[in-house]
Amino acid sequence: MQYANLTDDELWRAIYQNTEAMSDLVRQMSESKTGSKAGVRTKRVSNAQTIDALERQYRIYTMELRRRYP
């Protein structure tokens, strides 16, 4: 996706959505203590990878806003 083609509102909306998604995943990770150890571990690794991807997108969005408004 070309982040430079997004409007400011679209960037802010994406930042908000990423923040909400990361918060939900962190909340799930802290609450998921039931089930087999292997299943919980697999879910935590999956959530951590998703959080990493969202964090990368978040940085790209904020860098684009900073580029526009130095």
**pLDDT, tens digit (0-9, with 9 covering 90-100), for 22-51:** 999 888 877 766 666 766 777 778 888 999
Mean pLDDT calculated for residue range 4-30: 92
55 phi, psi to nearest 5 deg: -65, -40
Mean pLDDT calculated for residue range 10-33: 88
**Residue 1's pLDDT band (boundaries 50, 70, 90)?**
low
- pTM for the full predicted model: 0.78
**Count H helices, E strands: the chain?**
2, 0
CA–CA gap between residue 46 and residue 40 (Å, rounded) = 10
Q: Please state the domain extents for the chain.
A: 3-68
Question: Rounded to the nearest 5 degrees, what angle is found at the Cα of 68, between the Cα atoms of 49 and 6?
Answer: 60
CA–CA gap between residue 21 and residue 70 (Å, rounded) = 28
